[in-house]
C-alpha cells in the first residue's frame, strides 16, 4: 500500500489539476511528501509589529535591501483609484495610518473585491515587503487581516517564507496560499508519518522525533523549537548521504580486488630522472599515496584535486608508468578534444625515445587510424591511450587495462565512467582529477566514497597572476595595455559569456566583441583568432593552432577555453562581463595565463553598475589567487547548485534543508556517526539497524546501483 506521502499532489484540498501542474513545473512538487519537504528558506517573527515611523527611519535600508518583510497594525484612512497610463496599470491605493505616520498600500489586481471588502476605520494587521516609490514608502499587495481575526489566520508566531516565482503568484500560490497548503498537508498526514531514524540514534543524538520536527519546521512555536526541528532534519539528510557513500565504499572494497602493482621499474624511474624540472613536495606526496593504493591489493578509487597549473597531469602520467612497469595498459580520458590533444602532445614529448607507445583517440580520429589503434590495444602494443569519451565506445577494447585517469571528471556522468571501468576482466585502478577546487564539505558530500589527494602547491618559478578590475568607460586604457603586451611579444585571450546578443541579458557578446577587437587591432599589424563551442571541430582546431603556434596575437573566445588550453606565451586574460561568471569559472579562466616565466594579468571588465554580490565576487578575485579560498566563497555566494549527475555515487543528492556552506561541522559529525555504525556493522545486518537498511533502500530506489563502480 502506497504511503500517504506518495499521493499525487493534485488530490490535496486546494490544489487540483491546474495548480498541481504549476507546482510540478516551478518547484518539482509532485506528491504530498514533496510539498511537506519543501521547507521555508527563512522565517519572520510575527510577534513583532513595526510602526510607520520606524519604517521611515529605515527608508535607506528598504531602498538597498530586498527580502525585508514587516508587520504593522493600524487603520485605512481613505482609498484612491489611480487611473493607469500606457505605461502603468490602474492601481488601487489605500492610505494606511497607525498614528505615527502614513504609508500607501498599493494593489494592481483584485480591485473590485478590495473595494467591496476593505473598510476604513477598522483595525488591520498588514504584512508585506516595503519599497520606496517617488520618495514614499509603500507596500504592494500586502497580506491583510482584521486585527480581531488575526490569531485564527496565523497558526504560528514565526511565519515561514517559501521560495516563490511570478508564475506561482499568478496562479494564486503566493505565500498565504502556500501556508494554507502546508496546513492542509499537516492535517492530511497527522499520525501517519513514520520515524526514519532508530531509537538509539534519536536518544544518543538528542534528536526531535520526525513528525514533530516536520510540524515545527513549518509552524514553529518559538525560536527554540524551530532550531531543534531544523537540527533534526539536517542531521537525517546529511546522515543518510554519508551512510550511503561509506556503505558503497565498503561494498566496493569487499567485492572488488585490485591489481597489485608491486614494481616501480625503469619506465617510471627514467621518466622521473629525466624531467626538466623538480617535482613539488605536494606532487611527491600524492604519488606516494597513489603508489600505496596501487600495491594494496584493493582497487584504487582516488580523487586528485589540484589548482590550475599545479601539475596533476604529470602525476597521472608517472602513475600510469607504474602500471606499464607491471605489464598493464593505462588510459587517460579528458572531456574535450582540445584537452585530450594537449595531454597527448605533452605526454609524447616527455616519453620521446622511451619506446612507450602512446595513442590518441577522439571523435575526429579517422576510421583507418581507429582500426590501427584497436589492433594495437588488443595486442598490447599500445601502452597508453589518451582520448575523449570516444574511449568508452564498445568497439574500444584493451588487452589488459590496469589504470584509468579521468580528467575534469565532473564533466562525465557516472554511467559514462562505468563503461570505461568495465573494459577489463578486473576493474582497473581509477584516479579521477579536477582542477576545480572543491570545498571540503562539498567533497565529502559528492565524493565521500573516494579517498582524496590534494596538490596544494604550485611549481617553483610561477608568478601569481595579477588580477585587475576595469569598467567599460576604461576600455581604451585596457586596449593600450593589450598593445603594450603584444609589442613585448605576448599573446592575449579575450573571453565573452555569450556567442550572440541576447535580448534578455545585456552582456558583451562574442560576435560584437570580435568586430570591436578587429577594429581596434587591425590587420596586418595584428592577427585575431576566434574559438567558440558552435564552430566545427576543424575550424576550431585551425584557429586554436594559430594561437598555440604564436601566429595569432589575440584569441577571442567563449568559456570553451576554460579547460584545455596551454599557451605559456599568453600573459593576459581579458574577461568581458565578468559579473556574468561564477567565482570558480573566473578562477578557471584566469588559470589559462601565468603558465610561463613572465608576469601575467587577468583583467575583469564589468559594467559600472554592479550588484553588491557581484562587486564582492569581483573584489575577492582581485585579492586572492587561492583556488580553495575562492571555492569556499563560491559555495557561500551561490550554494552547491544542482549536484545531480555530478556526484560519484548513484545516490541522488538533493539537499532540502542543509547548507554545505554553513553546516560543515554537522556534516563532519554525521560522517563520524555513520562511520562508527558501519565499522561495527558493515552491511547493516544487526536488528537495531534494520530501519537504516530499509531507509537506504527507499532512498536509492529508482536509481542504478553504482556501488561497485568507480
Domain 48-153 identical in fold to domain 282-455: no
Q: Please, which residues have CB within 8 angstroms of residue 256's CB and are 6 or more apart in sequence?
A: 298, 299, 427, 708
Using one digit for the tens of pLDDT, what is the confidence trace for 67-90?
A: 677 888 898 888 887 776 545 567
Closest CA to 146 of 117, 112, 113, 172: 117
Using one digit for the tens of pLDDT, what is the confidence trace for 350-409?
A: 998 889 999 999 988 899 999 999 999 999 999 999 999 888 888 889 999 999 999 875
Task: Categorize the per-residue pLDDT at 651 as very low, low, confident or very high, splitting at 50, 70 and 90.
Answer: very low
Burial of 480 (0-12, 13-18, 19+ CB in 10 A): exposed
The C-alpha cell 496565523 sits at: 154
Q: Is the pLDDT of residue 563 over 80?
A: no
Using one digit for the tens of pLDDT, what is the confidence trace for 449-485?
A: 678 888 888 777 678 899 999 998 999 999 999 999 9
Using one digit for the tens of pLDDT, what is the confidence trace for 567-616?
A: 889 999 999 999 988 887 888 889 888 877 789 999 999 988 888 888 88
Task: Categorize the per-residue pLDDT at 694 as very low, low, confident or very high, splitting at 50, 70 and 90.
Answer: very high
Report the mean per-residue pLDDT for the chain: 84
d(CA 428, CA 421): 7
Q: Is the pLDDT of residue 153 over 70?
A: no
d(CA 583, CA 405): 26
Using one digit for the tens of pLDDT, what is the confidence trace for 84-128?
A: 654 556 788 888 998 898 888 988 877 888 888 888 888 888 888
Closest CA to 492 of 605, 583, 580: 605
- Average pLDDT for 321-333: 95
Helix (H, G, I), strand (E, B) or coil at 171: coil
- Show contacts of 163-169: CB within 8 Å, 24+ apart: 163/27, 163/38, 163/41, 165/26, 167/22, 167/25, 167/26, 168/22, 168/23, 168/26, 168/27
pLDDT of residue 600: 93
d(CA 360, CA 343): 9
Phi/psi for 404 (5° steps) reads: -125, 135
pLDDT of residue 647: 40
Quick one: what percent of the chain has pLDDT higher than 70?
87
Least confident of 195-199, 284-288, 395-399: 395-399
Using one digit for the tens of pLDDT, what is the confidence trace for 336-364?
A: 887 888 889 889 999 988 899 999 999 88
The class that CATH gives domain 282-455 is: alpha beta
d(CA 212, CA 591): 50
CATH ID of 1-46+164-193, from 3.40.50, 3.30.70, 1.10.150, 1.20.140: 1.10.150
Verdict on whether the full-model pTM lies above 0.75:
no
Q: Which grid cell is 364? A: 575526429
Q: How many residues does the chain have?
A: 710
Q: 82 preceded by cis ω (within 30°)?
A: no
pLDDT of residue 156: 61
For 518-560, give the DSSP string.
Answer: HHHS-TTT--EEEE-TTS-HHHHHHHHHHHHTT--SEEEE-GG
The class that CATH gives domain 48-153 is: mainly beta
Which one is predicted more confidently, 653 or 118?
118
Phi/psi for 527 (5° steps) reads: -120, 125
d(CA 514, CA 528): 8
- In angstroms, the Cα distances linking 297 to 403, 428, 551, 678 are 13, 11, 50, 22
Using one digit for the tens of pLDDT, what is the confidence trace for 413-463?
A: 556 666 766 777 788 999 988 877 677 667 766 666 678 888 888 777 678
Least confident of 226-230, 382-386, 442-446, 633-637: 442-446
The torsion angle over the Cα atoms of residues 278, 283, 285 and 291, rounded to 10 degrees, is -100
CATH superfamily placement of domain 466-624: P-loop containing nucleotide triphosphate hydrolases (3.40.50.300)
What are the extents of the domains in the chain? Answer: 1-46+164-193, 48-153, 282-455, 466-624
Quick one: what percent of the chain has pLDDT higher than 90?
40
Using one digit for the tens of pLDDT, what is the confidence trace for 297-326?
A: 888 888 898 877 788 899 999 999 999 999
Which one is predicted more confidently, 635 or 525?
525
Amino acid at each position: 500500500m502506497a504511503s500517504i506521502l506518495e499521493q499525487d499532489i493534485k488530490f490535496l484540498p486546494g490544489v487540483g489539476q491546474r495548480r498541481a501542474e504549476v507546482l510540478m513545473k516551478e518547484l518539482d512538487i509532485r506528491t504530498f511528501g514533496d510539498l511537506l519537504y519543501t521547507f521555508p528558506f527563512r522565517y519572520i517573527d510575527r510577534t513583532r509589529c513595526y510602526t510607520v515611523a520606524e519604517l521611515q527611519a529605515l527608508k535607506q535600508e528598504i531602498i538597498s535591501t530586498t527580502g525585508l518583510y514587516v508587520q504593522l497594525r493600524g487603520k485605512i484612512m481613505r482609498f484612491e483609484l489611480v487611473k493607469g497610463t500606457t505605461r502603468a496599470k490602474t492601481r488601487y491605493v489605500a492610505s494606511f495610518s497607525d498614528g505615527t505616520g502614513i504609508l500607501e498600500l498599493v494593489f494592481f489586481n483584485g480591485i473590485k473585491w478590495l473595494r467591496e471588502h476593505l473598510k476604513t476605520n477598522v483595525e488591520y494587521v498588514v504584512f508585506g515587503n516595503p519599497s520606496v516609490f517617488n520618495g514614499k514608502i509603500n507596500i504592494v499587495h500586502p497580506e491583510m487581516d482584521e486585527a480581531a481575526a488575526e490569531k485564527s489566520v496565523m497558526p504560528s508566531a514565526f511565519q515561514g517564507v517559501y521560495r516563490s516565482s511570478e508564475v506561482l503568484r499568478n496562479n494564486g500560490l503566493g505565500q498565504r496560499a502556500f501556508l494554507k497548503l502546508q496546513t492542509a498537508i499537516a492535517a492530511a498526514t497527522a499520525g501517519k508519518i513514520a520515524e526514519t531514524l532508530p531509537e538509539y540514534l534519536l536518544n544518543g543524538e538528542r534528536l526531535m522525533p520526525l513528525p514533530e520536527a516536520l510540524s515545527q519546521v513549518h509552524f514553529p512555536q518559538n525560536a527554540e523549537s524551530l532550531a531543534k526541528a531544523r537540527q533534526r532534519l539536517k542531521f537525517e539528510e546529511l546522515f543518510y548521504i554519508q551512510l550511503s557513500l561509506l556503505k558503497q565504499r565498503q561494498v566496493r572494497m569487499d567485492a572488488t580486488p585490485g591489481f597489485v602493482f608491486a614494481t616501480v621499474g625503469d619506465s617510471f624511474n627514467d621518466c622521473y630522472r629525466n624531467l626538466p624540472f623538480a617535482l613539488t613536495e605536494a606532487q611527491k606526496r600524492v604519488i606516494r599515496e597513489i603508489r600505496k593504493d596501487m600495491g594494496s591489493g584493493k582497487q584504487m578509487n582516488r580523487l586528485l584535486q589540484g589548482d590550475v597549473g599545479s601539475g596533476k597531469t604529470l602525476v597521472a602520467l608517472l602513475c600510469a608508468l607504474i602500471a606499464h612497469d607491471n605489464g598493464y595498459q593505462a588510459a587517460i580520458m579528458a572531456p574535450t578534444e582540445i584537452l585530450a590533444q594537449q595531454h597527448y602532445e605533452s605526454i609524447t614529448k616527455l616519453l620521446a625515445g622511451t619506446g612507450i607507445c602512446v595513442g590518441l583517440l577522439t571523435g575526429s580520429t579517422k576510421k583507418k587510424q581507429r582500426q590501427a589503434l584497436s589492433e594495437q590495444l588488443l595486442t598490447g602494443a599500445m601502452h597508453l591511450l589518451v582520448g575523449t569519451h570516444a574511449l568508452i565506445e564498445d568497439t574500444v577494447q584493451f588487452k589488459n587495462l590496469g589504470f584509468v585517469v579521468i580528467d575534469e571528471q565532473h564533466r562525465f556522468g557516472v554511467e559514462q565512467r562505468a563503461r570505461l571501468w568495465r573494459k577489463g576482466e578486473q576493474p582497473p585502478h581509477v584516479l579521477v582529477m579536477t582542477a576545480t577546487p572543491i570545498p571540503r564539505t562539498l567533497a565529502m558530500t559528492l565524493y565521500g566514497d573516494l579517498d582524496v589527494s590534494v596538490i596544494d602547491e604550485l611549481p617553483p618559478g610561477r608568478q601569481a597572476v595579477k588580477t585587475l578590475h576595469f569598467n567599460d568607460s576604461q576600455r581604451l586604457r585596457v586596449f593600450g595595455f593589450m598593445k603594450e603586451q603584444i609589442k613585448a611579444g605576448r599573446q592575449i585571450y579575450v573571453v565573452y559569456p555569450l556567442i550572440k546578443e541576447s535580448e534578455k541579458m545585456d552582456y558583451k557578446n562574442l560576435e560584437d566583441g570580435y568586430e570591436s577587437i578587429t577594429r581596434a587591432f587591425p590587420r596586418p599589424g595584428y592577427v585575431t583568432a576566434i574559438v567558440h563551442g558552435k564552430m566545427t571541430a576543424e575550424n576550431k582546431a585551425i584557429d586554436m593552432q594559430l594561437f598555440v603556434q604564436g601566429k595569432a596575437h589575440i584569441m577571442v573566445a567563449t568559456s570553451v577555453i576554460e579547460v584545455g588550453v596551454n599557451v605559456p606565451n599568453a600573459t593576459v586574460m581579458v574577461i568581458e562581463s565578468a559579473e556574468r561568471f561564477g567565482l570558480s569559472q573566473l578562477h578557471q579562466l584566469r588559470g589559462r595565463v601565468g603558465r610561463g616565466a613572465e608576469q601575467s594579468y587577468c583583467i575583469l571588465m564589468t559594467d559600472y553598475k554592479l550588484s553588491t554580490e557581484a562587486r564582492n565576487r569581483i573584489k575577492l578575485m582581485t585579492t586572492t589567487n587561492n583556488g580553495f579560498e575562492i571555492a569556499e566563497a563560491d559555495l557561500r555566494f551561490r550554494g552547491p547548485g544542482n549536484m545531480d549527475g555530478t556526484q560519484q555515487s548513484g545516490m541522488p543528492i538533493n539537499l532540502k534543508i542543509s547548507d554545505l556552506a554553513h553546516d560543515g561541522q554537522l556534516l563532519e559529525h554525521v560522517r563520524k556517526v555513520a562511520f562508527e555504525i558501519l565499522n561495527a556493522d558493515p552491511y547493516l545486518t544487526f536488528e537495531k539497524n534494520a530501519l537504516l537498511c530499509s531507509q537506504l533502500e527507499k532512498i536509492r530506489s529508482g536509481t542504478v546501483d553504482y556501488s561497485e563502480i568507480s
